[in-house]
Amino acid sequence: MKIHISQLEEGCILSKPILSATNKPLAYKNTIITKHIKEALIAFLVKEVEVENILENGQEFKLAGHSNEQDETEDKVVEDSVIIKSFYHQYLEAVQAYKQLFISWQSGVQIDINKVRQLILPLVSEIESNDEEVFKLYHYCKQEDYMYHHSVSVALVSAFLAQKLGYQKGEINQIALTGLLCDCGMSKVNPAILTKKVTLTESEYKDIKQHPAHSYNLLKNIMSIKDGVKLGVLQHHERIDGSGYPLSVKAEKLHPYSKIVALADIYQAMVAVRPYRSKQSPFKVLEQIMEDEFGKFDLTIINELKKGITRFSTGTKVKLSDGLDAEIIFMDDNNPTRPMVKYLYSQEIISLKDRRELFIEEII
């Protein structure tokens, strides 16, 4: 029975699996719906689901055609089968938890670093087994909650990069904290500016550019926060060529944490949906960073970002920016975002290196 998500009640049992926009299983067949699972499905913009059994007033109600002789194991939740309760669900919960903390900071509450750690560190510990999913989180960013999604995503991308750069667990955690807290100073910016859906005025943009200093000031007297985190927060909009803000410092004066978070921050800002534009492909954004932002970021860190995004090989199925599906048939190491591909519908072979108007939208 297919029903609208609004009709889904606790106790309903799924008769078919539910897939995300990237074909990631959100919940398997035979999952019993709980309040938290329904909330997560709504967050993932699921419109309809197919259900088999409904529990009414504590008694199981069998839909017509359902046999009592079916495996009893189908009528219970399979251990670890609900993907939505793992990395994706933790991510969504972290976004909402960060939102509550941010709102409290806006009202003058001091930052509780223990709550911040409890929010992000469990997710960081999951990155090694979910590293491919880190670059898909932008799919689930909502315009109205952009800032909260952004901070959690920057923390996770920063942790991923730190991991690939060879940092040990303790420092990876510190870099993740830097990513999460780099925009905490936005809580001291006029809320009307933060929610504005049109281009900022010069005065408003000037106010926004003060947020790294606000972030640093919120953290500077918290003794349990390491100096590297505080410096990373202050410097996350600085650039190695000195073109950043608020102090225009150059490479030799930048803390290593800030170099990592700076790249994670701009990458995540460019891929995610914003009040004034739609989301962008990670592959297109990577090209823009490598071309338009050349000389502003550490090349070693950019290379790790590139490896993380372009982990595909011959035979990988992709969706192109023209909306059509294709298969990668040859990888060009010098142009990892622009391999040779074959359209699935026509078998036409094209080289994306020679077709600059096209780019890879998604891996499918």
* Buried residues in 322-359 as b, exposed as e (16+ CB within 10 A): eebebbbeebeeeebbbbbbeeeeeeeeeebeeeeebb
Q: What is the pLDDT of residue 24?
A: 64
**Residues in Cβ contact with 246 at an 8 Å cutoff, skipping those fewer than 6 apart:** 209, 210, 212, 213, 234, 237
More confident of the two residues 109 and 50 = 109
**Residues listed for the chain:** 364
Quick: pLDDT tens for 4-21: 888 888 878 888 888 766
Alpha carbons 127 and 10: distance in angstroms, whole number: 30
Q: Give the strand pairing for 13-14 and 59-62.
A: unpaired
pLDDT greater than 50 at residue 66: no
How far from the centroid of its chain's Cα atoms is residue 69's Cα? 43
- Among 151-155, 289-293, 295-299, the minimum mean pLDDT is found in 289-293
Percent of the chain with pLDDT over 90: 54
Q: Where are the beta strands (DSSP E) in the chain?
A: 2-4, 13-14, 18-19, 25-27, 48-56, 59-62, 317-320, 325-330, 340-343, 349-351, 360-363
- What does the pLDDT average to over 260-289? 88
Q: 233 exposed, middle or buried (CB, 10 Å; 0-12, 13-18, 19+)? A: buried
Q: What is the pLDDT of residue 2?
A: 84
Q: How confident is the model at residue 224 (pLDDT cuts 50, 70, 90)?
A: very high
Quick: pLDDT tens for 90-104: 899 999 999 999 999
Residue with tokens 């800002």: 269
Tell whether omega for the bond before 246 is within 30 degrees of 0, i.e. cis.
yes
Residues 312 and 352: beta-carbon distance below 8 Å: no
Q: What is the pLDDT of residue 281?
A: 86
Cα torsion 47, 9, 2, 76 to 10°: value is 110
User: Of all residues in the chain, what percent are helix, strand and coil, respectively (each to 5)?
Assistant: 50, 15, 40
Q: How confident is the model at residue 62 (pLDDT cuts 50, 70, 90)?
A: very low
> What predicted TM-score, i.e. pTM, was given to this entire model?
0.76
- Among 68-77, 120-129, 294-303, the minimum mean pLDDT is found in 68-77
For residue 53, the cross-strand partners are 13, 62
Q: What is the pLDDT of residue 142?
A: 81
